[in-house]
Amino acid sequence: MTIFHCHILEHEDIGMMGMWDIMDMQM
């Protein structure tokens, strides 16, 4: 999941990064 997470960050905005951060904490 972490590798996919980082890969998404390369293509998405900083705002999306915040969303993924929240999802990571919930999981």
Reported as a single tens digit per residue, the pLDDT across 1-27 is 555 555 555 656 556 667 777 777 776
Spatial contact of 16 and 5, defined as CB atoms under 8 Å apart: no
pLDDT of residue 12: 61
Q: Quick one: three-class SS letters along 1-27?
A: CHHHHHHHHHHCCHHHHHHHHHHHHHC
Q: Which has the closest alpha carbon to 19: 1, 10, 9?
A: 9
Residue-level pLDDT at 25: 74
Model pLDDT, residue 26: 72
